[in-house]
Structure 1
């Protein structure tokens, strides 16, 4: 009996592990029709095919019977923009715009609302907006493998993706014959690999490749197909190359005049694909990679290594990253396919899979490439993708990288750092030419891979994004405490702070505000000036972000012992910033004026950014502002787009309402996801995937508060408070400049701050906390059973659980402690 019970437990554990890490389907994805190519709102291939990626080179496979379609992407391939201009022009900024900046500001000072000829929007468009094309992320190539098989003849079809190993599989039978395809995109060897095998049969395959771009060369010769092409640009087309090598054993391979390969009577066919563009992240040229040599060299090396070793090294690479953080919720595996699981509605099984899938997408779309994941991560098949598949800096790019810290994928952050170095270099020209600011750098609303930092082409979308982008940059240091990394990013942080110190200007009450700006992407005074009345001054979100940036800069300056004079300037500037205000409905005001509409259900809730991903609104430190945030959340409602639903998950977690956070995560996973679990914005945007998993992490562990009074035994007295009441107006909260001791203040680890009642039992391994810590947590009946806290560096911290705050705990690197509800240290 004991043996049977043990066997059943083993089988159940195996089924649960499979369910947590496998997407599975009993039919192919839809073909990628021309109608879908021309209209990104038409669902099909992109929403059903399964994604592979090594952070640079991506692929999706359909699992088609008669023809397999492998869509290829390379993350640096852009089109319809410019590169190789002089260093000023390459930024995209309008040369000499600063000469008219005072004219633009005057329209704000005189409050010219609306969209008329002399409005804030119109003058910003006329004098500041860029006239240079942003361009868009582009598809790369399409590889097709024709099999000659017919759907009517097959049985036992299965298409799956093992996200723990990063391996896709297609399997089916024809009579007694078995056919299997295996796919992966290798980071160690930088190639996409496929294998086709047949048992009790042979295969006759035709392989060909094409591109939506201008093809300058395609040839099949021997065992290879070489394609070269160029993506159209307004200046200097991007050159690219794809090379395919086919190993069919002793089977016959015939090179065709049309550039295809025919394989006859094969039982085992291995396909290796290497591909590069001529892009290099060197401002302002952004080219000169020897893409031909790199493609040839990479392909040659992969073929020499061989399929088996490539696959083993790839699987070890991906599984090691996936194992760094594991969520295990208590559920009975359903055994149904993934599309059926989604169709059945919310379930703990789906929620667990979604968490792990987002981590897989992060591993696949962001590793060591020179540019970060974009609005669609890595995967795009449209010459005109939704929102250009670009870098939106009013939430989306930042959200793509929220979970790399908490969900323990810090190496995925490297492309973001590389990108910010380029942006800071380019942004110096935008700061000077657009606004006449000699020090620091500025970034607008949209970015591309060519250093575009200019104000948006439309004056309605004026925004300064440096503070938002730097938030992620400093968070990476907060989690690692890596002083060498802080040295690396310090010039970027300082440059952003320098820009804002110069850009801030006094408003009617004498406080300092940012303008031009907006509150993404919302309107105000709609009855008076229309639904496009969006340009404003002192939008609360940006004021919050500037405080966040200034506080981070002060800490960086102290830690590195740099720039004491400028540090003092920043410290003196903080109390002069416009206060955060509670409005007539008890809400956090979105603007300095009380313009909020309680029936406004806009998807953006940017003015709660101090709640998340910021750290300055908290029920534990700023209860009045947190209660006001609660009112705002209720006003905005529960139904929203994918990424907005994900952000609301994080908001409610930070408000310590686990069941409400869970409600949004449920909606995200069951109602805002496509069949392949891509986020349903609609159409597809990947930020919802990443933001949702970040929200789960926030439900289980929070570490954003700092202890500045280590003698205090309650968190209200111990924690740093970023906003305080003024004596003049009890609804105004003035920003607080931190003391320099903030640099050494312990982080406070809040265990299970928003655990949903639906997740009564479970565990999580490898969550990261600020201060250089990793945490494993187990709970049962909604109560903490045990937490193990590991120091990845010499760490000092405090633990907060069930209203109790520990004393300061010091751990040496490599040492761990256990913590439970009875711990008193």
Structure 2
């Protein structure tokens, strides 16, 4: 028997703050294995070993522990004789250009309309392969930019030497509490005990380290270095000041770092090489502030008074002091982390995290991985003007893999899939701000390269300087705006923030305007996107080589264009504007190329039936309508669901880290919890480094975020909407975006969304893909579209209790135990309780 009640609840801001502080003390008094990364040895510091020519195997990035406040990042090694903190600033790039005129800053290549017509003709004529005159070669010849993209760059390294002999150390422990963002190192030498504490403060924008000793003295040497040439380091008055430049092709990035040392009454001496030497101390606190001159102002991307900010920030931190800074930091991080907590039922093993990873998987590791991924998200995306990149925030190399840039064919989007479901909506801000800059820059690329007069366009690779041009290779992704906008609108779906919708509407509209003009009729008369590709896959490779990737009307593009047009129609309806533009989108939707089921029963990746059942490619972009989209579902589109199943079986389970994360999401959306769990287990145990960073290889952070998104999808789904309040089943109630073409039964044509979709309540599906390996557990604070928060508890593999809350007020339908509820209306502050 199911019981449901509606409960009112009111809490003032003051009582909420006091409650949060009490909760903090209650939940952090004892270390919780669900949040703790812990080790019995320091990280492998190959960055220091390189200087001795001894670096090999796993190294610093894979074993050191990360901290961050969204803009400023750090990792600590826990080295006994030398502690190494890697410092990063998310806006620090090099090898690119800035400060050009508005058109040039976009990186776009001005293309003669006749040359663009030549490119398109090659597509219509089926000029496959890579030979002269092919789609690939002509796209490279006429469309690709020759402007430098540049790469994300490291900031500095802080080295703290102790003089301790590693062979003399006992009881070593290195840990990171992802619930509080506190890093700790402890060990003993003889009768002396030594402790280090680290954190990266969001409220005060500093990295802080504290060294203490009991029954012993601290003798430390502190120095800072940077990989950037032409830097200058000087020490005076308990400070180390680093001034440097990151080399650009045009207009070098200038930066400063100040390290302030408080050693109490100990002896402090400065050295000519810029180091500080501390003798006979018992307590040493180090405050680090660092900024570069970057500002998100197009096209200059310059202007921050970084020196004044550095001075002001480090002085304020030193005045506040370690204890208060730590208190502010712990409340800040734990408040966000406590909003959503996964608790699977397991007995703690007592294993260190590296041994947990190497033990072939466990519920303990799966629980830790999810909570840690939330910590990583909070640490690398908050408050900054640019989003997390391929490595989140943490990079030690002047030439990082794939530029450590922004790939718009899945990676930057995947970085933000788990933000709202895992209740970290504040982390979305950098993505939205960056995309607005791309939209401004992309108007030039749309016009100059593609001859499109309205709207904006963006290619495969992005940077922090507004680069929206085409990749240097023709086979790369031409368009990414529709996928970026999917993230933008989905954030509104979760938050129901009308002010935010007003802010992003011009970006959504601009992306749609581009495709309205860019879409072109194909041989059958349907409208398709071309030039394009299906990331990053090839077709007819035996006939035309593995680089035969350029195509037309790829399924992923067509699905995303429908998604974009539908979102624009809803946004314009909600905001009450652009009725004529809304009508133009409604008129175009039925003309879009349909989705097709191919000869193997698969969902076709291309408009032609080219799919190879033996293809194990890591990208499965033609299932975007399944996830992160909302238009394929086992509950609403049976034929497309079955075709997606065939595709997933063809592609297999094992892949790179980010692809494994995506497959976890796919199988969850297919309501196969055991298959989703199998892949998530593989991700956590076989695609994780000792510090739980995602193993691509090398490190890419999107796998962490994709895996966490998959956990959310296993436990709660809210992408379907009810347009018929009287229907008693989801298949009857839910809005469907595709229907079978009666003339061609294996084709599914896109449908124009009804006007009532803008007011249609979301269907909150509880435990849609609960794995049998998780028979008992609970999670609190998942977010659902429509502006709701959900707590769940299950036992024996069945839902036992659920609570739905709202801070905005709204209407939803609940799908629990295979029963669809009527519409449920909650006022602001009310909650709804369901029990079995």
TM-score, shorter chain, exceeding 0.5: yes
Deviations 1:428-479 (A, max 9, x none): 0000001011100001001000000001111010320000000010011001
1:17 and 1:252, CA in 2 relative to 1: closer, same or farther beyond 3 A? closer
Contact 2:799 2:817 in 1 (8 A): no
Q: Distance in 2 between matches of 1:452 and 1:202?
A: 52
2:73 aligns to what SS in structure 1?
A: strand
1:806 to 809, 813, 821: 821
Q: Specify the alignment match of 1:29 in structure 2.
A: 43
2:709 to 694, 704, 707: 694
1:461 aligns to what SS in structure 2?
A: coil
Q: Specify the alignment match of 2:23 in structure 1.
A: none
User: Once the 2 structures are TM-superposed, how far is the Cα of residue 791 of structure 1 from its aligned partner?
Assistant: 1.4
User: Once the 2 structures are TM-superposed, how far is the Cα of residue 639 of structure 1 from its aligned partner?
Assistant: 1.2
Aligned CA RMSD, in angstroms, stands at: 1.4
Q: Specify the alignment match of 1:183 in structure 2.
A: 198
The answer as to 2:264 corresponding to 1:249 is yes
Q: Distance in 2 between matches of 1:583 and 1:36?
A: 53
2:748 aligns to what SS in structure 1?
A: strand
1:181 aligns to what SS in structure 2?
A: strand
Q: Specify the alignment match of 1:9 in structure 2.
A: none
Contact 1:146 1:207 in 2 (8 A): yes
Contact 1:15 1:333 in 2 (8 A): no
Q: Specify the alignment match of 1:5 in structure 2.
A: none
User: Once the 2 structures are TM-superposed, how far is the Cα of residue 186 of structure 1 from its aligned partner?
Assistant: 0.2
1:438 aligns to what SS in structure 2?
A: coil
Contact 1:620 1:715 in 2 (8 A): yes
Q: Specify the alignment match of 1:48 in structure 2.
A: 63
1:301 to 293, 316, 319: 316
Q: Specify the alignment match of 1:773 in structure 2.
A: 788
Q: Distance in 2 between matches of 1:804 and 1:531?
A: 48
Q: Specify the alignment match of 2:354 in structure 1.
A: 339
Q: Specify the alignment match of 1:6 in structure 2.
A: none
Q: Distance in 1 between matches of 2:810 and 2:796?
A: 31
The answer as to 2:698 corresponding to 1:718 is no
2:639 to 606, 611, 624: 624
1:534 to 549, 562, 565: 549
1:226 to 219, 238, 241: 241
In structure 2, stretches of 5+ residues that fail to align are 1-26
1:16 and 1:506, CA in 2 relative to 1: closer, same or farther beyond 3 A? farther
Contact 2:92 2:155 in 1 (8 A): yes
Q: Distance in 2 between matches of 1:157 and 1:769?
A: 43
In structure 1, stretches of 5+ residues that fail to align are 1-12
Contact 2:208 2:286 in 1 (8 A): yes
Contact 1:656 1:754 in 2 (8 A): yes
The answer as to 2:523 corresponding to 1:508 is yes
Q: Distance in 2 between matches of 1:17 and 1:607?
A: 44
The answer as to 2:517 corresponding to 1:492 is no
2:494 to 455, 479, 500: 479
User: Once the 2 structures are TM-superposed, how far is the Cα of residue 177 of structure 1 from its aligned partner?
Assistant: 0.3
Contact 2:111 2:143 in 1 (8 A): no
Q: Specify the alignment match of 1:4 in structure 2.
A: none
1:586 to 601, 605, 621: 601
Contact 1:40 1:385 in 2 (8 A): no
Q: Distance in 2 between matches of 1:114 and 1:285?
A: 40
User: Once the 2 structures are TM-superposed, how far is the Cα of residue 795 of structure 1 from its aligned partner?
Assistant: 0.6
Contact 1:619 1:626 in 2 (8 A): yes
Q: Distance in 1 between matches of 2:54 and 2:686?
A: 22
Q: Specify the alignment match of 1:751 in structure 2.
A: 766
Contact 1:196 1:269 in 2 (8 A): yes
The answer as to 2:202 corresponding to 1:150 is no
Q: Specify the alignment match of 2:180 in structure 1.
A: 165
Q: Distance in 2 between matches of 1:506 and 1:820?
A: 53
Q: Specify the alignment match of 2:613 in structure 1.
A: 598
2:102 aligns to what SS in structure 1?
A: coil
1:311 and 1:97, CA in 2 relative to 1: closer, same or farther beyond 3 A? farther
User: Once the 2 structures are TM-superposed, how far is the Cα of residue 95 of structure 1 from its aligned partner?
Assistant: 2.3
Q: Specify the alignment match of 1:282 in structure 2.
A: 297
Q: Distance in 2 between matches of 1:223 and 1:16?
A: 36
TM-score calculated relative to the size of structure 2: 0.96
Q: Specify the alignment match of 2:210 in structure 1.
A: 195
Q: Specify the alignment match of 2:13 in structure 1.
A: none
Q: Distance in 2 between matches of 1:433 and 1:820?
A: 59
Q: Which moved more, 1:796-805 or 1:274-283?
A: 796-805
Q: Distance in 2 between matches of 1:596 and 1:383?
A: 39
Q: Distance in 1 between matches of 2:234 and 2:49?
A: 28
The answer as to 2:251 corresponding to 1:216 is no
List aligned pairs for 1:653-672, cutoff 5 A.
653-672=668-687
Q: Distance in 2 between matches of 1:216 and 1:581?
A: 58
Q: Distance in 1 between matches of 2:379 and 2:59?
A: 21
Q: Which moved more, 1:232-241 or 1:31-40?
A: 31-40
2:368 to 346, 349, 353: 353
Q: Specify the alignment match of 1:366 in structure 2.
A: 381
1:428 to 443, 447, 453: 443
Q: Distance in 2 between matches of 1:365 and 1:746?
A: 33
Q: Distance in 2 between matches of 1:203 and 1:39?
A: 29
Q: Distance in 1 between matches of 2:262 and 2:29?
A: 35
Contact 1:36 1:44 in 2 (8 A): no
Q: Which moved more, 1:160-169 or 1:800-809?
A: 800-809
Deviations 1:357-416 (A, max 9, x none): 000000100000000000000000001111111000000000000000100000000001
1:41 and 1:111, CA in 2 relative to 1: closer, same or farther beyond 3 A? farther
| Alignment length (residue pairs) | 809
Deviations 1:594-644 (A, max 9, x none): 000000000000000100000000011111001000000000011100000
Q: Specify the alignment match of 2:11 in structure 1.
A: none
Contact 2:804 2:831 in 1 (8 A): yes
The answer as to 2:329 corresponding to 1:314 is yes
Q: Distance in 2 between matches of 1:492 and 1:25?
A: 46
Q: Distance in 2 between matches of 1:39 and 1:459?
A: 40
Q: Specify the alignment match of 2:34 in structure 1.
A: 20
Contact 1:35 1:42 in 2 (8 A): no
Contact 1:16 1:332 in 2 (8 A): no
TM-score calculated relative to the size of structure 1: 0.97
The answer as to 2:826 corresponding to 1:795 is no
User: Once the 2 structures are TM-superposed, how far is the Cα of residue 711 of structure 1 from its aligned partner?
Assistant: 1.1
Contact 1:50 1:161 in 2 (8 A): yes
1:102 to 117, 125, 128: 117
1:320 aligns to what SS in structure 2?
A: helix
Q: Distance in 1 between matches of 2:118 and 2:461?
A: 24
Q: Specify the alignment match of 2:625 in structure 1.
A: 610
Q: Specify the alignment match of 2:7 in structure 1.
A: none
Q: Specify the alignment match of 2:142 in structure 1.
A: 127
Q: Distance in 2 between matches of 1:463 and 1:43?
A: 36
User: Once the 2 structures are TM-superposed, how far is the Cα of residue 32 of structure 1 from its aligned partner?
Assistant: 2.8
Q: Distance in 1 between matches of 2:111 and 2:298?
A: 21
